[in-house]
Every structure is written in C-alpha cells, then in structure tokens.
Amino acid sequence: MKKYLPIFRKAALFQGINDMDLESMLQCLSAKRSAYQKGQVLVQKGMTMSSVGLVLSGALHLLNDDFWGNRTILAQIVPGELFGETYACVQTAPLQVTVQAAEATEVLYLDIRKIMTLCTASCTFHARLLQNLIFVLAQKNLLLTQKLEHTSKRTTRDKLLSYLSAESIKAGCATFSIPFNRQELADYLGVDRSAMSSALCKLRDEGILEFQKNQFALTHSVQP
C-alpha cells in the first residue's frame, strides 16, 4: 500500500494526517483494494453503497443514462478523489448514477460506518452534530443531483415529466402538490415560463397529467 502514499498525501480525505498514522488508520478502517478494466462498471444505478471509494489510479466517470439511452457525464473522478461518499452517507438513497471506469483503474474502499464512529465517546452530542452535518451535506448533494437530472433533459416536456414523476414518487402518491408557482417552476427547471405552460397544457390534453394550481396528478405511469 506504500506505493500509493503520493496519492494519499494529496487526497482531500487524508489531509492533515501524517504517513505513520495513515497506515494504521487504513487497517483500522479495513480498507480494501480493487482493480477494474476500461469500460467496466463498478456500481450500477439503483444499488446502495456502504463504503466510500478512493481512486488510486486511472479515472472513473459518473454516468446518468436515462430511459432512452441519453448519457450524461456528471463528473470525472481522478486519483485521490472519492466517489460514492454521498450514497454511503445516505444509505437509504439508491445510486442515481452508474460508476464506470474511464480507463484501467484501481480503487480503495473504506467502510463508512468505521469512518463515522468516533473511537472515544468524548463529547457525545458534538460528534453527533458532525455526523448530522455530513448527512445534511450528502442530502443536499442528492437534491442538486436530482435537479441536474431534471434540467439535463433536452426538452421542456421531458424536464417537466422528470420533475413531476420524481415529486410523485417522493409524495408516494399519484396526486401531489409542488412548492412552486409556474414562474418559480420554470426558473427551477431553467426554461421559459410560457413555453412551459404550453407544454404543461399539452401534457394535460394528452391525458398524461391533471393539475389545478400547484396540485398535480399523474394519470399514466410515465418513464421520466
């Protein structure tokens, strides 16, 4: 593991931790190494992660393939960087992305539970505060990722369907209300209000959804 010291030294996760501490820490965290070939999929969209991945060599791509096969690169992960930390911190959330090796890549996996649990319970609620902050940041990550998933759709229609079906799923009900008026929704989706209004009414005319004010109902199951 020593040959990766240059990577560890520049890794954000290990800043301020010296080489000696590092080695014992890696054992303590039960770090495990894996290697992948170019194009190989490390984790599939929809799965969950219980550990954080640290790229040792090569590069990864975070991909978002939609239903029709449009592929969006959300990010590129290079040596020293992490992936999956958001989903490891919010284990109830299934991966919204697929992780693929952009080239031959080595990865070090660290168990998130061992990272989060402070050895000595010195100041209980202060430690809890840090854990909560981590959770908040990870969840905000998810919100941003979700918004990106909506706004990355090519047409206003698809942006609407992506957003509304996500809201529907979140509400656990075909009928739901949204926290935006039309102008705010248009701003959120990054589109023109009047064009969005047209698209909305067209969807209603096609019988795909119903609405009045900010109460919506998806009447057909639609692939976002």
DSSP, res 190:
T
Tell me which residues touch DNA (CB under 7 A).
154-157, 181-183, 190-201, 211, 213-214
Shorter beta-carbon distance to a second copy: residue 189 or 200: 189
From a second copy, DNA, none, interface partner of 213 (C-beta below 5 to 8 A by class):
DNA
85 binds a second copy (CB under 8 A): yes
Whether residue 87 contacts residue 49, with contact meaning beta carbons closer than 8 Å, is answered with yes
Q: Is 215 helix (H, G, I), strand (E, B) or coil?
A: strand
Q: In what order do the strands lie in the sheet with 41-43?
A: 41-43, 98-101, 60-65, 71-77
Q: Compare residues 122 and 212 and give the one whose CB is closer to a second copy.
A: 122
Judged by DSSP in three states, 140 sits in helix
Query: Mask 20-39, x = binds a second copy (CB under 8 A)?
Result: -x---x--------------
Per CB under 8 A, 57 contacts a second copy = no
**Using an 8 Å Cβ cutoff, are 174 and 182 in contact?**
no
**CB nearer to a second copy: pick between 184 and 206:** 184
One symbol per residue from 149 to 188: x for binding a second copy (CB under 8 A), - otherwise; what is it? --xxxx------------------------xx---x--xx
What is the distance between the alpha carbons of residues 22 and 129, in angstroms, rounded to a whole number? 25
Residue 222 lies near a second copy (rule: CB under 8 A): no
Decide if 54 contacts 1 (C-beta within 8 A).
no
Q: Does 13 bind a second copy (CB under 8 A)?
A: yes
